Amino acid sequence: MTMATTDHETQIIVDPNVPLVRIIREFDAPPEKVFRAHADPELFAQWIGPDNMTARVDHFDCRTGGAWRYTMARDDFEASFHGSFHDVVPNELIVQTFTFDGVPEGVALETLHLEDLGDGRTRLTATSLVDSFESRDAVVASGMETGVVEGYNKLDALLAED
């Protein structure tokens, strides 16, 4: 198994000590653009959903103290998610909560860091922290779009050995 073999490939880190999942991905665009694609609901709806579902943004106020809610839908299925924007620093940071409406007592704390790599490039680090290892592993096992994707980076190295 190979993961994160190129600059662009999504890298996933499943932390063994803390119930979090972390995704690292680089983009050929400056942080301003990547931030805007996360902060502007019209732009956000264009890429967040899986190909076979339509994302409908019900509410989206991407600023410190704001809130958000969106729904993923296909013919026979709908799932809604909501949360609060805890801290928003333009072009740098979004800290928000994340809840699947189907499990209202569950909440993840999500942090999005944008790092300017120069030459119009950005490294995105998205971390999702949940309240138990069981929840985290269920997120990874379910492969739900809700989550952050994580990989086991040391395992990658191990698996790359012959």
Partner 1 sequence: MPADALSKVFSALADPTRRDMVARLTRADATVNELAEPYDVSVQAVSKHLKVLEGAGLVTRSREAQRRPVHLEAEVFDLMTKWIERYRRQAEARYERLDTLLDAMPDGDPEPPDTGEKP
Q: How far is the CB of 59 from partner 1 (least distance, A)?
A: 15
Minimal distance, residue 45 CB to partner 1, in Å: 10
Beta bridge partners of 59: 69
Residues 6+ apart with CB under 8 A from 118: none
Which residue carries 């944008």 as its tokens?
114
Quickly tell me which residue has 């063994």 as its tokens. 16
Residues binding partner 1 (CB under 8 A)? 1, 3, 8-12, 14, 16-17, 21, 23, 25, 27-29, 32-34, 36-37, 39-40, 43, 46-48, 50-51, 62-66, 88-90, 124, 133-134, 137-138, 140-141, 143, 145, 147-152, 154-155, 158-159, 161
Shorter beta-carbon distance to partner 1: residue 27 or 99: 27
The helix or strand, by DSSP H or E, that contains position 70, with its residue range, turns out to be strand 67-74
- What length does the chain have? 162
